[in-house]
Amino acid sequence: MNKILLTILLSSCYMHLFSQTLMFRHNPEHNYPGVKSSAGVYDQLKWKINCFAPVRSTPLIVNDKLITGTTRGELLNISSATGRTNWKINLGKAINSSAAYMNGSLYVADNTPSLYSINLADGKIKWKCPLGKDKSYEWKYDYFSSSPVLYKNNVYIGSADGNVYCIDQAKGTVKWRFSTKGIVRATPSIYNDVLYIGDTEGYFFAINAITGKLTWTFNTEGVNFDNVKEGFDRKAILSTAVIHDKKIFFGSRDGFHYCLDAVNGKETWKNNHDVSWVITTPYIVDTFVIVASSDARFIQAVSTRTGKEIWRSATDGPVWSSALVINNIVYAASFNGTFYAVDLYTGKKISSFHAQGKIHSSPTLAGDRIYFGSDDGYIYALSARPRSSFKEQVRYVFFQPGLNVYFKNGIDTRVKNYLQDAGYATIDSAKLTNLFQQPVSNSVIVFATNYMPRNVLTGDENSLLKKFLNQGNKIIVLGNNPMIYELDSATHQVSGLNFSWFRSIDIAVPYNDLRMMKGTYAAFPNAKGIELGLPSFWTANHSLPFDQVNICLGVDENGLCSSWIKNFKNNGQFIQLWLNQETDLELGFILKVTGTDIK
């Protein structure tokens, strides 16, 4: 009886797997509604796997298998639970489109361009269908390729040869092709036997999905632009259309987000992004359309009915990754590797996670995890924690013009500008002192100017600095500990070093002289530091014994702790990091440390 029951259960699972039809945004209309989950906010790293090449395609999850491609041309089948690779094959050219799945077969395109049918179980190619020869396209920056869409036993896909293809799903033979006026990077959308898609010349087409005959054409504003005169592409439609309530929603490089009538192609409304490209695929939930902007750097919610803006939320870089909505939280990612969690109704930032490279890949949810790829070569799996535990973090960068005691070549200004662009408020000495006197919590201050005013240090146990930390705030310093510098009141130049101020953060001071500096030594991140994205090495002074810190992030060549964290009450932390004094370095790890709950 048990064997019979087991056979029935296995057969049921097998039939369920084979009956699934999966693709980008789950269906041909790409209008999968806001996802519900029992979890909270997804910003906790569960695992990451190195694919050794940028990952720009959106992961496809088939039961417990994650399918994605890389710019190296490898297609990977990975365990979504553990991140271990089940199999991988090399198709030879970059895979920047997302896979589709049905009846045990994967459908994926590479940049040859060709479409493949591949067996899910072992990665063996069933058939290959060439998609013509690439047309010349000088205005590229097109990191995505058209992805396959499954509809009525056919596979639909656009190509760089300028055609939209209908291909027999079982045989891999072309049933029809439709010639556009440019090349096609967008993914087809299909509703009621009509296929909708745009090309790189600004034309948007409605095509009969059964016959391949044109139904109607809509000219975007981009048709009227001359790219040569503009100096950049203001024509191409790379955004995949979403069909909702007999309306079509898509963005364009002409700087507009469009809504058309799906029946006749007439414009319902358009939302102006003031020249900034709208590349992302819209996400529709309730009466909200979620899109994002490229150089204008924001995530936006508009009304499905009017196109009127409801809110916009600034980002730290251009956004090309398409959004995902779960439990009324919008997830979207930027060129700076920041993965945002934003409230659907207000646009307020809830939390963030930081990868080490651009994020072009769009996030997808399966089970209790979100998955996406990055240009740093990794695929990330994020788990959630309860939203009730979140209080919005307030972020500041301390910068005092004309006061430079550590950094050279304008590194302090670069740090200030970088963090200011990422949404940090800039404060000077007066504002810093005032902030330290307030009953605030869950704030973080990064010191771009490597100096700490004396008035926040006096009093040791009762100092304003100690009070600020014990209220549950963070201080992040990026060079020699800023509290040690004594300045000449007239010249504002360093007149001496005073290590006794270390007592303000509960660090022992056996000597108040250069023995505390110990010399300048090479240091390297440990496992925790690597996880946080710290530089591969740095040189630093005044490393500390392990018993003087709570968390060590990096160790110098003498075995002392060079980068470290000192814990205070209510989750307050003093964090010592290191930047090169003179060199223009990658600063993304500062954002990651800022937004991570380090324990």
Distance separating alpha carbons of residues 278 and 89, to the nearest angstrom? 33
- 263 sits in which H/E element: none
Asked if the structure places residue 241 within a domain, the reply is: yes
Residues 407 and 427 in one domain: yes
Q: Report yes or no: 309 and 290 within 8 Å, Cβ to Cβ.
A: no
| All residues at 6 or more sequence positions from 520 whose CB lies less than 8 Å from its CB, including other chains | 539, 540, 541
User: What is the predicted pLDDT for the residue at 82?
Assistant: 92
- What is the maximum alpha-carbon separation in the chain? 92
Tell me: the pLDDT tens digits for 375-413?
A: 999 999 999 877 655 566 788 999 998 888 888 888 899
Structural domains in the chain (count) = 2
DSSP 340-360: EEEETTT--EEEEEE-SS---
Residues 359 and 410 in one domain: no
- Between helix 588-595 and helix 411-421 the angle, nearest 10°, is 50
Residues 562 and 481 in one domain: yes
Residues 501 and 575 in one domain: yes
Asked if the structure places residue 1 within a domain, the reply is: no
Q: What is the DSSP letter of 35?
A: B
Distance separating alpha carbons of residues 554 and 561, to the nearest angstrom? 6
Q: What is the DSSP letter of 580?
A: -
Look up residue 464 and give its two tokens.
């304003």
User: What is the predicted pLDDT for the residue at 420?
Assistant: 81
User: What is the predicted pLDDT for the residue at 133?
Assistant: 93
Asked if the structure places residue 16 within a domain, the reply is: no
Look up residue 178 and give its two tokens.
């439709």
Residues 562 and 476 in one domain: yes
3-state secondary structure 456-522: HCCCHHHCHHHHHHHCCCEEEECCCCHHHEEECCCCCCEEEECHHHHHHHCCCCCCCCHHHCCCCEE
Q: How many CB atoms lie within 10 A of CB 517?
A: 16
Asked if the structure places residue 581 within a domain, the reply is: yes
Asked if the structure places residue 357 within a domain, the reply is: yes
Residues 126 and 153 in one domain: yes
Q: pLDDT below 70 — which residues of the chain?
A: 1-19, 34-39, 387-392, 421-422, 584-586
How do beta strands 474-477 and 573-576 pair? parallel
Q: What one-letter code names the amino acid at 205?
A: F
Distance separating alpha carbons of residues 425 and 439, to the nearest angstrom? 18
3-state secondary structure 132-158: CCCCCCCCCCCCCCCCCEEECCEEEEE
Q: Report yes or no: 524 and 537 within 8 Å, Cβ to Cβ.
A: yes
Q: Vertex 398, ends 396 and 401: CA angle to 5°?
A: 140
- 312 sits in which H/E element: strand 309-314
Asked if the structure places residue 563 within a domain, the reply is: yes
Say whether pTM exceeds 0.85: no
Distance separating alpha carbons of residues 294 and 193, to the nearest angstrom? 32
Asked if the structure places residue 551 within a domain, the reply is: yes
Residues 62 and 108 in one domain: yes
Residues 368 and 464 in one domain: no
Residues 347 and 456 in one domain: no
Label residues 358-391 b or e (16+ Cβ within 10 Å = b): bbbbbbbbbeebbbbbbbbbbbbbbbbeebeeee
Of 373, 389, 405, which one is at a domain's C-terminal end?
Answer: 389
- Which stretches within 354-481 are classed as H helix? 411-421, 429-436, 464-470
Q: Vertex 282, ends 278 and 286: CA angle to 5°?
A: 140
Distance separating alpha carbons of residues 60 and 72, to the nearest angstrom? 18
CATH number for position 324: 2.130.10.10
DSSP-based three-state secondary structure for 411: helix
Distance separating alpha carbons of residues 396 and 27, to the nearest angstrom? 43
Distance separating alpha carbons of residues 578 and 76, to the nearest angstrom? 37
User: What is the predicted pLDDT for the residue at 10?
Assistant: 41
Tell me: the pLDDT tens digits for 278-303?
A: 999 999 988 889 999 999 999 999 98
List the one residue out of 574, 482, 590 whose CA is nearest residue 535: 590
Region for 380 from its dihedrals, namely left if φ exceeds 0, alpha if ψ lies in -120 to 50, beta otherwise: beta
Of 325, 355, 389, which one is at a domain's C-terminal end?
Answer: 389
Phi, psi of 388 (to 5 degrees): -65, -20
Residues 362 and 401 in one domain: no
Residues 443 and 561 in one domain: yes
User: What is the predicted pLDDT for the residue at 387?
Assistant: 67
CATH number for position 507: 3.40.50
Tell me: the pLDDT tens digits for 257-284?
A: 999 999 999 999 999 999 999 999 999 9
Residues 275 and 296 in one domain: yes
The sign of the CA dihedral 134, 139, 143, 147 is: negative
Termini Cα distance of the chain:
50
Strand partners, 47: 381
Of 389, 413, 443, which one is at a domain's C-terminal end?
Answer: 389
For 528-532, the CB contacts below 8 A with 24+ separation are: 528/552, 528/553, 528/598, 529/553, 529/554, 529/563, 531/45, 532/589, 532/592, 532/593, 532/596, 532/598
User: What is the predicted pLDDT for the residue at 286?
Assistant: 80
Asked if the structure places residue 497 within a domain, the reply is: yes
| All residues at 6 or more sequence positions from 419 whose CB lies less than 8 Å from its CB, including other chains | 395, 397, 446, 448, 587, 590, 591
Look up residue 483 and give its two tokens.
């509290």
Domain that holds residue 417: 394-595
